[in-house]
Structure 1
Amino acid sequence: MQITRLKGLKPLLVKDDVLWVSKGYKVLKTGDGCKTFEKVGTYKLSLIDKFKNINRLSRRLFRMGFHNLQVLPDNSYIGLIKGRILKCNNNSNKFKTVFKIPRGSRPLNICSFPNGNLFFGEYFSNQNRSEVHIYGSFDYGETWRKVYTFPENSIRHVHGIYYDPHRKGAWVLTGDIKEECQILFTDDEFESLNTVLKGSQMVRAVSIIPMKEKVIIPTDTPLEKNFIQVFYPDTMRLNAVHQIEGSAFYCSQFDSSLVVSTVVEPSEVNKSKYAKIYISKDGEEWRELYSRHKDCWHLKYFQYSALMLPQAINRNSILYAYGQGIRRDDGCLLIFNK
């Protein structure tokens, strides 16, 4: 597999042949495998944020840049940066703030439904285990409101919300310990939310891959060994199929392949210093595709070392990834071409 590196570009979203990337606070798109790029929009930084964004190391320290992007049915865009949700209308090239995150620096993702409705779950330290909210928008991101609340002492925070096109609903992932680890499902946009799995580190996850007859659930735990698992909703069977060397933060799909990537984080159990990408054709058998050693900078301050994967349902044969805190590839868009 041929690998191309493009410095300074971060992949955010893939839909069929189109890739959206960020370069600082500018969003670009390409439909020709990164040969040419078209500007989508920019976000104007304050003077203080311009200082924080001055180089790659400061961007890592202050968690700068775009972290998530959604394209809505009217061709407008929703972006996620530290502390804010942004919107760029289809007749504009400017991202504007539409919502300030009340608690925590930002959610780990924003979930988009086919009708354009949007949801995110709060992700903050929550040492006191206060109630945790899920927010939704029903007007293409213009306004946001609470749509569901986890009561106090039930969870620590929400790890992610993911739309399932096969079951016409969304999976909600929560953590961090014991009964706080839950995988839930809603088929009515949070009018109700039903617990499917709970109660162990084996159901502590950050990202998943919904499939027609099963769901790929890789674990995210510093407390135990991590595994890629296959869950069969019809029978409630959960099988660990492949051990991985670190917590899995990212999942993606390209061509007919499934992809999971791990991070390097502080752990007494998972001591690997390598971020890795694993690949599978069927979700049952996995192999290591790519591996990179963490760089010299402290994980706590300069972010976990990772091979980040964009949100993707990519029908072509190109896999995109992004190096964070790893040797050689830090700050690079990685293009894996079959």
Structure 2
Amino acid sequence: MVEPAANMPAVTMRTRRYTAGRALRAMRDGTLYLGRNYEIHRSDDDGATWVFVTRMPSAGIRRWAGWSRLASRLLRHEVRAMNVTPGGTVVASNREWVYYAAPGEPLMRRAKVDAGSQPLAPPMTMTVGPDGRVLWGEYDSTTRHGKPVRLFASEDGGSSYEIARVFEGGSILHLHNIVWDTGRGHYWVLAGDHDDEPGIGVLSADLKSFDWLVKGRQLYRAVEVFDGGDRLIYIMDSEKERNYLVHLDKSSGKAETSAEFEGSCIYACRFGKWLTFTTTVEPSKVNSARQASLYVSRDGATWSQVLRAEKDGWHPVYFQYGSIILPRGESDRDTIFFSGQAVREWDGRAATATLEARGA
């Protein structure tokens, strides 16, 4: 296992600015998006200032949940996924539905989703392709639910969605992410979670063809991947097996593992020259760590831990796993952006920071 304390002096993180909220998305131009309960805020100056963008509608008890951090955690009263289309429309999801807001609209509207008779399972992540198409896959964490899992696509900026592909019931548990590969001109589809369900597949740009590159092992269970040219680089997201750094050949599917980490990885993001990922406190027989960690690298091979945060005392199932959250997407700026969830000192807080490598 990687011993982060030994690596820590090589890279120093200097936190610059703090604010309340949850890291949501980083855009290539450096724009950052933050969630505060159901509100979405934006910063164009590395977190120095934040401006309100839009918010999701809330009803019933959720109107009051925002007054209590614990109530918000218990009810998952937060933006789960969000993205921005080339036209400036904000698309987002929570645990109930999928929403959109045109530029300047303060209140998001429910998207029309053609889901048929099967109840919708809102997504964990949302992808905007190079043509502006919005894609996402269903995320239902109920073990062995056996239902078909649908991949949805929008051709109108997120106001309506239709089924683009259906995965047979029992073949996968849910979809973690859909990642565009610029060099190869197709999408990577990342699926979880157990037994034969995990896999990484290739979806064509026109969404008409799909094939699994690898499938059926925890080794192929990933939520985020870095593009390493001829390979995908990721850290496993598993509570069943030890989590390793994986280099997966894009053509052959050959997987090479190296460093072992103390927890599962749900969040990863590139900030300029820095690759970053975090581990989550997801207690199991193989994941015994009580701390969530933030790791950074410039080459995808050697990683240094720059932050460690201990899980707080609240029950992880009811009041969330301990995580250091990174935004989805990627930024061409070196400024790091992250937030804390269910960890001491950082719960409900976000920050921007800079990294300094000794000898650089």
SS in 2 for 1:249: strand
Label 1:184 to 1:87 Cα distance change in 2 as closer, same or farther (>3 A): same
Question: Partners of 2:112 and 2:73 in 1: how far apart?
Answer: 23
Partner of 2:195: 178
Partner of 1:37: 50
**Corresponding residue of 1:122:** 138
Structure 2 contact 281–321 (Cα < 8 Å) conserved: yes
Q: For 2:194 and 2:50, how far apart are their aligned partners in 1?
A: 43
1:208-247 CA distance string (max 9 Å, x none): 1223232112111111110111112134331112111001
- Select which of 232, 241, 246 maps to 1:215: 232
Q: Which moved more, 1:214-223 or 1:118-127?
A: 118-127
Q: 1:210 to 1:71 in 2, by over 3 A?
A: same
Instruction: Answer yes or no: is the 8 Å Cα contact 2:192–2:199 preserved in 1.
Output: yes
Match of 2:347 in 1: 330
Q: Report the alpha carbon displacement of residue 105 of structure 1 after superposing the two structures with TM.
A: 5.5
Shift in alpha-carbon separation, 1:126–1:318, aligned structure 2, 3 A: same
- Equivalents in 1 of 2:269, 2:351: separation in Å? 14
Summarize the alignment of residues 99-110 of structure 1 with structure 2, pairs less than 5 Å apart. 99=112, 103=119, 106-110=122-126
2:25 counterpart of 1:9: no
Amino acid at match of 2:265: A
Structure 1 vs Structure 2: percent identity of aligned residues?
26
- Cα gap change, 1:20/1:153 in structure 2, threshold over 3 Å: closer, same or farther? closer
Hey, what's the Cα distance between the residues in 1 that align with 2:319 and 2:121? Answer: 15
AA of the residue aligned to 2:335: I
Structure 1 residue 164 corresponds to structure 2 residue 178 = no
Aligned to 1:51: 64
Partner residue in 2 for 1:241? 258
- What's 2:167 paired with? 150
Give distance in 1, aligned partners of 2:183 and 2:90: 24
Shift of 1:46: 1.5
Distance 1:271 1:320 in 2: 27
Of stretches 280-289 and 253-262 in structure 1, the one that deviates more from structure 2 is 280-289
Identify if the C-alpha distance between structure 1 residues 8 and 239 changes in structure 2 by more than 3 Å, giving closer, same or farther.
Answer: same
AA in 1 matched with 2:46 = G
Residue ranges of structure 2 left out of the alignment (5+ in a row): 1-12, 356-360
- Equivalent residue, structure 1, for 2:5: none
2:199 is matched by which residue type in structure 1? Q
Measured in 2, the distance between the counterparts of 1:269 and 1:25 equals 34
The correspondence for 2:278, drawn from 261, 274, 283, is: 261
Q: CA RMSD in A?
A: 1.8
* 1:13-28 correspondence to structure 2 within 5 Å: 13-15=25-27, 16-28=29-41
Q: 2: distance between equivalents of 1:207 and 1:194? A: 19
Cα–Cα, structure 1 residues 195 and 337, in superposed 2: closer, same or farther, change >3 Å? same
Question: Is the CA contact (8 Å cut-off) linking 1:5 and 1:332 kept in structure 2?
Answer: no
> What is the aligned residue count?
338
TM-score normalised over the length of structure 2: 0.89
**1:75 to 2:92 alignment:** no
d(CA) in 2 for partners of 1:130 and 1:311?
27
Alignment pair present for 1:317 and 2:334: yes
- Counterpart of 2:249? 232
Deviation at 1:103?
Answer: 4.1
Structure 1: gaps (5+ residues): none
Contact 1:42 1:95 in 2 (8 A): yes
